[in-house]
Structure 1
Amino acid sequence: MARNATIEPVSGISIAIPLALLVVLSAALAMQSGFVVTKGPEATVAAPQTITVTPHRFAYRDAAEYFRDGLAIDAPKRDVSVISSLEIMKYQTTLRDYNRCVAEAICAPAETGDDAPPREETPVTGVSYDDALRYAAWLSERTGIEWRLPTDFELAYAAADRFPDDALGIDPDDRNPANRWLADYEREARRAKAIDPRPQPQGSFGISQTGLVDFAGNVWEWTSTCNKRVDLGQNRRVEEPDPRSCGIMIAAGKHRAPMSSFVRIPKGGGCSVGSPPDNLGFRLVRQHGLLEGLKDWARRAMTDVFEQAASDKART
């Protein structure tokens, strides 16, 4: 005689997976199985080592130059909660890696600016913003992964405790321009050049709380953020510059430095505001594709579903 089968009731949330999630999972499975062809170029160069900066809250001061009635004031600083992660190169691009692009006649040779030849394991310096863009395009093709320069915001998010605050610290209602000149002079005096401005081997300048290595050493890093001036008061409208036609980009390191995009050796000129950087280099952000984004979203959604199911079961 057959025994009666007992079926345990199942929590509704454990089976009520959203239709959108099922669609995403089906698409990911189809791509993984080869039903949908998503093959990119074959990688001929190993991808650089990266870190993943997990979502966190941080204080960010805008990179723009702010003025009120012709007087310089500090850019606003706000607390920002970032909800997405960021994958960025752990180290700055090295001369060895950059020279692979040079060897293929895609990138222009870096300028050292001195007689001593740099070592290949040091960060590449003597490169312009345009050079960095060409290298990012070359690396994207050779690794089959999309790479790009970070924005100033992304670099601040990744550098965390190592990112500088360039505020003058002057009361915005202070109408005495002499106080601003004095504060600016003191700030520039603190921006003393490095005792040895020559690029140093990786790991020479410490690591941030997020795992970013060598930020704010003696190599400033190009970003894709265009320098802009914001005039407050008198109902003036803030105009966003077009990055495609912007000639002054933000390089970040011990301090922010608006630099002409074609400049390679900053001590030779090209810094539009304040003290020039010791050196110009860069690191890149990995731009995740649609499939990777869908998989990440599906993974997080599935985790939420299962955690909610477990929570419902615990309450019953």
Structure 2
Amino acid sequence: MTTAARALTDADIANLSLYLSAQLPALGHAGATHSAAASGKPFRDCPDCPELVPLPPGRFVMGSPPSETGRFGNEKQHVVDIAASFAIGRFDVTFAQWDACVRDGGCRAYNPSDDGHGRDTYPAVNVDWDDARAYLAWLTQKTGVRYRLPSEAEWEYAARAGTSTARWWGDGLTRDDANYGPDVCEQQTNCGGYAQGADKWMYSSPVGSFPANPFGLFDELGNVWQWTADCWHDDYTGAPGDGSAWDAAACSRHVIRGGSWSNVPSFVRAASRAAVPTTVRRGYLGFRVVREMPEGEVGQLAKSP
């Protein structure tokens, strides 16, 4: 397969789905084709470092079918082959982890506001793309291994966790599934059912407040948007087919993924994507880390108790 992403015909998609279903056991979730055992045991490189989940290489269908409710026109389906194992944050980076970076002299000494929503185990927000990279540079220097933002393809691969539906649990969305909401909700009471079920929070929620996906990752959908490494492109024409980040000269906007507490359901889908200026800081925008996995280390982690 070439490094350029390949657009799929309906027959291609059907054949690939059948192949994956035959090769990997179902999980009991709609559309699931990978076993949760395909991900490794969580680990962390230091006490203040984010907890990580190792993920294997694999092939998946990125994007959404025309029949998916809420889809946008920039989500055309195509095959991506994730070429190498990588470890991804089990949770979004929290304020506690960000503040540890600042105390240690990293993160450009920037103390982002939590907008009164909560700190400690709440996701770090009001960080722009370069702020996130400063945190990753601190982790890299501290641990001696490379940390970075996930590529857009890696993010969707991790969010889907082997599933092919709009969301890893299926096509629907309830207040027990994720932290999401209407576009505007200014009142703490009488908010049209904004705070219901497991979603007790008007704004962001502590990480891990909702169920994990089959890879053991929390809050991939909802709570806060997440930065990716990719520069924004209007569609997937010419995108890398190996899962690497898609850059561009003089990039001023980057891709964010996952949706947030402020968004309606159409944004809280595995295929949903949006563009924001690199310098934007918002109370609904955070990030999670990726840590590269040398080939020998993958085997060592698999053997660890």
TM (norm. structure 1) is: 0.55
Residue 155 of structure 1 and its aligned partner are, at CA, apart by 0.4
CA contact (8 A) 2:74 2:234 kept: no
Q: Quick one: structure 1 residues 259 and 119, their matched pair in 2 at CA, closer, same or farther if it must change by over 3 Å?
A: same
278-287 or 100-109, which deviates more: 100-109
Aligned pairs (5 A) from 1:289-304 = 292-294=294-296
Give the residue type in structure 1 aligned to 2:276. M
Structure 1: state its 5+ residue gaps.
1-42, 63-71, 167-189, 266-277, 301-316
Structure 2: state its 5+ residue gaps.
1-44, 65-71, 168-179, 186-193, 195-200, 240-244, 259-267
* Structure 2: distance between partners of 1:197 and 1:257: 22
Give the residue type in structure 2 aligned to 1:250. V
2:111 corresponds to: 109
Look up the SS of the partner of 2:230 in the other structure.
strand
| Residue-by-residue CA offset, 1:172-193 (whole Å, 9 max, x unaligned) | xxxxxxxxxxxxxxxxxx9834
Look up the SS of the partner of 2:275 in the other structure.
strand
Pair 1:217-2:222 in alignment? yes
2:136 corresponds to: 136
Query: Please, what is the CA RMSD of the aligned residues?
Result: 3.7
Residue 89 of structure 1 and its aligned partner are, at CA, apart by 1.0
Q: Percent identity?
A: 28
Look up the SS of the partner of 1:229 in the other structure.
coil
**Aligned match of 2:63 in 61, 86, 92?**
61
| Count of aligned pairs between the two proteins | 205
CA contact (8 A) 2:48 2:97 kept: no
* Structure 2: distance between partners of 1:282 and 1:104: 20
| Residue-by-residue CA offset, 1:50-86 (whole Å, 9 max, x unaligned) | 1122334321029xxxxxxxxx944430234445322
| Residue-by-residue CA offset, 1:217-264 (whole Å, 9 max, x unaligned) | 2211100011023598xxxx99x9854631100110123221111111
2:182 corresponds to: 192
| Residue-by-residue CA offset, 1:97-127 (whole Å, 9 max, x unaligned) | 1011222443211133x3x362311111111
* Structure 1: distance between partners of 2:287 and 2:122: 12
Give the residue type in structure 1 aligned to 2:218. V
**Aligned match of 1:246 in 243, 247, 251?**
251
Q: Quick one: structure 1 residues 295 and 135, their matched pair in 2 at CA, closer, same or farther if it must change by over 3 Å?
A: closer
CA contact (8 A) 2:89 2:290 kept: yes
* Structure 2: distance between partners of 1:73 and 1:96: 38
Look up the SS of the partner of 2:205 in the other structure.
coil
1:84 corresponds to: 84
Look up the SS of the partner of 1:138 in the other structure.
helix
Give the residue type in structure 1 aligned to 2:146. E
* Structure 2: distance between partners of 1:45 and 1:157: 27
* Structure 2: distance between partners of 1:222 and 1:262: 12
* Structure 1: distance between partners of 2:287 and 2:146: 16
1:18 corresponds to: none
Give the residue type in structure 1 aligned to 2:137. A
Look up the SS of the partner of 2:119 in the other structure.
coil
Q: Which has the higher helix share?
A: 1
* Structure 1: distance between partners of 2:152 and 2:98: 22
194-203 or 140-149, which deviates more: 194-203
